[in-house]
């Protein structure tokens, strides 16, 4: 099976959320799912609100990243979590 590169966009509930704490919670969820985080980016949205773009690798045999998306969406302080990119890696 191939490795899949996934990018998850996470919107916090408010501008008051500590993104570092939220990032660690999400990384733990990804690890539990069997993924390996390879990058985190803070993306400004509007009026001081920032989204987290978290990129990770997972084995294709896991199937869809949708269960992880749902799990992250259910975290406190998360308004939404959306998989915005899925690619098979080469090599």
**pLDDT tens digits along 16-67:** 999 999 999 999 999 999 999 999 999 999 999 999 999 999 999 999 999 9
What is the pLDDT, as a whole number, of residue 54?
A: 98
Residue with tokens 């191939």: 2
What is the model's pLDDT at position 91?
62
For the cut 90, the answer to whether the pLDDT of residue 14 exceeds it is yes
| pLDDT number for residue 11 | 98
- For residues 30 and 12, the answer to whether their CB atoms sit within 8 Å is no
Domains of the chain with bracketed CATH: 3-88 (3.30.70.60)
Does 76 score more than 70 pLDDT? yes
CA distances from 68 to 6, 26, 46, 51, 75 (A): 11, 9, 26, 17, 11
Whether the pLDDT of residue 81 is over 90: the answer is yes
Distance CA 31, CA 63 (A): 16
């Amino acid at each position: 099976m191939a490795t899949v590169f996934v990018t998850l966009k996470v919107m916090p509930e408010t501008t008051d959320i500590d993104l570092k704490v939220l990032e660690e919670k999400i990384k733990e969820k990804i690890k539990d799912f069997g993924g390996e985080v390879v990058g985190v980016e803070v993306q400004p949205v509007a009026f001081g609100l920032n989204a987290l773009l978290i990129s990770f690798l997972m084995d294709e045999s896991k199937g869809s990243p949708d269960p992880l998306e749902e799990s992250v969406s259910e975290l406190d302080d998360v308004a939404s979590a959306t998989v915005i990119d899925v690619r098979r890696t080469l090599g």
